[in-house]
Homo-oligomer: A and B are copies of this chain.
């Protein structure tokens, strides 16, 4: 089974495939599905265009492979969280911080998700791998809410998916809308000072929301 040194050097399918995916991730996240150019991807790989079609069949096939790998990374990240030992408030702080940092540090992923939304999540829907994504983060949040209610730290019986959305929306938007927001408000969202302030803000807002009860009954509008 072991490959000879010669084989390793000449033919390394796994490395070739990964190399292509690395380059393609950059290209798709930079230009979108339609804007990306297969020629341009091929040039930046250590191999040729022929191999892209050999391994991934089509431009869309390559895009899907990129998307699947990006989500696979998330899955492994989420499953690493060990928050059951912490007090509910601290656990939530950690969870929010992790989401915040993840989006901040993975603009490529954020852009791919934006792009996939432009395409109505069509590719994601077709991918059994992504569709079956075990979203452990929801279970984690539900657990934190339950423990918080029991301990009296929280008062609101919030829906875990809603809370996840409140957190995600802010963390995601900061990265996804960095350019238009920065242009309109003359504010560079990548500045370190804002990093700290925004992280505190979303943490305070979510914790405050869970601590209080239904203070904001809807006005009639």
Known A-B contacts A34-B35, A118-B115, A204-B212; A219 and B165 likewise in contact (beta carbons under 8 Å): no
Stretch at the interface among A19-27, A130-138, A143-151: A130-138
Stretch at the interface among A2-10, A38-46, A49-57, A169-177: A169-177
CB neighbors of B among A169-194 (8 A): 169-170, 172-174, 176-185, 187
Known A-B contacts A34-B32, A35-B34; A218 and B196 likewise in contact (beta carbons under 8 Å): yes
Please give the count of copies of this chain that the complex contains. 2
Q: Give chain B residues whose Cβ lies under 8 Å from the Cβ of A206.
A: 205
Q: Is A184 a contact partner of B116 (Cβ separation < 8 A)?
A: no
Q: How far is the CA of A158 from the CA of B203 in the complex (A)?
A: 14
Q: Give chain B residues whose Cβ lies under 8 Å from the Cβ of A177.
A: 113-114, 117, 168-169, 172
Q: Give chain B residues whose Cβ lies under 8 Å from the Cβ of A121.
A: 179-180, 182-183
Q: How far is the CA of A197 from the CA of B216 in the complex (A)?
A: 11
Q: Give chain B residues whose Cβ lies under 8 Å from the Cβ of A130.
A: 183-184
Q: Is B114 a contact partner of A114 (Cβ separation < 8 A)?
A: yes
Known A-B contacts A201-B166, A201-B209, A205-B205; A176 and B117 likewise in contact (beta carbons under 8 Å): yes
Min CB–CB distance A30 → chain B (angstroms) = 8
CB nearest to A208 among chain B residues: B208
Q: Give chain B residues whose Cβ lies under 8 Å from the Cβ of A118.
A: 31-32, 35, 111, 114-115, 118
Min CB–CB distance A110 → chain B (angstroms) = 10
Asked if A14 CB lies within 8 Å of chain B CBs, one says no
Q: Is B166 a contact partner of A202 (Cβ separation < 8 A)?
A: yes
Asked if A59 CB lies within 8 Å of chain B CBs, one says no
Q: Give chain B residues whose Cβ lies under 8 Å from the Cβ of A179.
A: 116-117, 119-121, 124
Q: Is B111 a contact partner of A180 (Cβ separation < 8 A)?
A: no
